[in-house]
Amino acid sequence: MREQEQSQEVEQLTQEISERQAKIKAGVRLEERQFEKEWGAFRPVGFRKKKLEIFVCGNCSQELRGAGHTGQSKNRHNPLFWGLEIAEKILCGECLEARKGAMPAVRRKKFKQYLKIGMFRD
């Protein structure tokens, strides 16, 4: 009986997470202060959590902190900074590492340096 309750809770949580990810990818506002997803302009999906700006990875929906004082998304999470021509506006380090082969050689070298010094430990 208890195992059934736990499995139902797990299923409900995974369903809620998948619905949230689908809404984020579709650009639907999840909260009142969430930024809008515009494919023409560079405005990543994000929201505020207390005083922090939180941005969402376009591939795996991992939450990434914005820059300290300004709260803007960091360049290292921008695929255009790495020379990737893809639709996502923000990617986490793991998703960028998966696309490392498509980067130009100079950017790939800089990406390895960023990984080595731990720039993607958000």
Host domain of residue 29: 2-116
Position of tokens 């809008």? 36
The residue type found at 87 is A
CA atoms within 13 A on the CB side of 110: 10
Q: Is residue 121 part of a domain?
A: no
pTM to 2 decimal places? 0.59
Q: Is residue 122 part of a domain?
A: no
Q: Is residue 61 part of a domain?
A: yes
Which helix (DSSP H) or strand (DSSP E) does residue 44 occupy? none
Q: What is the mean pLDDT of each run of 10 residues along the chain (122 residues)?
A: 81 80 64 47 64 82 80 80 84 90 91 89 68
Position of tokens 């009986």? 1
Q: What's the structural domain count of the chain?
A: 1
